[in-house]
Amino acid sequence: MSRFSDDETLRFYAQSSSDYANEGAGRIWAGLSDFIALLPEGAEVLELGCGAGREAAALLAAGFRVDATDGSAEMVAEARARTGMTVRQMRFDELAVVARYDAVLANASLLHVPFAGLPEILVRVRRALRPGGVLVATFKTGGAAGRDAAGRYFNRPTREALETAFRSAGFDDLSIDQRHGGGYRGEPTEWLTVVARP
């Protein structure tokens, strides 16, 4: 495990990309409409960890400009094949642009970052946002950080730990909501959704 990523987690997505994409086929993230409501018309959106590309395709269809990215080459290939979109491979610590995006969506992706490295990734995201931009990110919570049955690493922060990490990265306007939902293969999951602006 590095400071910003976990090789075993990336290996899971490399080996299981098709199965993972098929498992969620036809389902769009329940929070997407709330995310869209935060966007100005024609917004440019960066998606970190786009997976099979379902949300990216929905955002594109809604009239937004979308830069869809994923850290796994295999997931990038799945997203391209399933959506016909341009999707590029990029790990979180490779984000280096300044004031480019109106919004960043990190749905179930930054939850794989070792928690000690999360504030630095959040600084990169903040720098990538235009003035007035917004980051929406979701995290699994409850229990200790560690691996699931598939071998994926999750940081599983508390609400308080997330607030500290986001504020230390320069996000001063912050809300965190908790909801019950599902995960991979229907696993019952408690989710924290963060809406953050610098």
DSSP result, 128-190 = HEEEEEEEEEEEEESS-SEE-TTS-EE----HHHHHHHHHHTT--EEEEEEEEEE-GGG-EEE
Range from 20-34, 103-117, 143-157 carrying the lowest mean pLDDT: 20-34
Share of the chain above pLDDT 90, in %: 86
Task: Please tell me what DSSP assigns to residue 176.
Answer: E
Mean pLDDT for the stretch of residues 187-196: 92
Distance, in Å, from the CA atom of 166 to the CA atom of 16, rounded to the nearest integer, reads 31
pLDDT score of 104 = 99
Q: 25 pLDDT exceeds 70? A: no
**Which residues lie below 8 Å from residue 125, measured CB to CB, with a gap of 6+?**
48, 95, 104, 106, 135, 169
Q: 38 pLDDT exceeds 80? A: yes
Longest dimension (CA), the chain: 41
Mean pLDDT for the stretch of residues 138-151: 94
pLDDT score of 183 = 66
Helix (H, G, I), strand (E, B) or coil at 114: coil
Token digits for 26? 């036809």
Q: Which residue has the higher pLDDT, 155 or 26?
A: 155
Superfamily of domain 7-197: Vaccinia Virus protein VP39 (3.40.50.150)
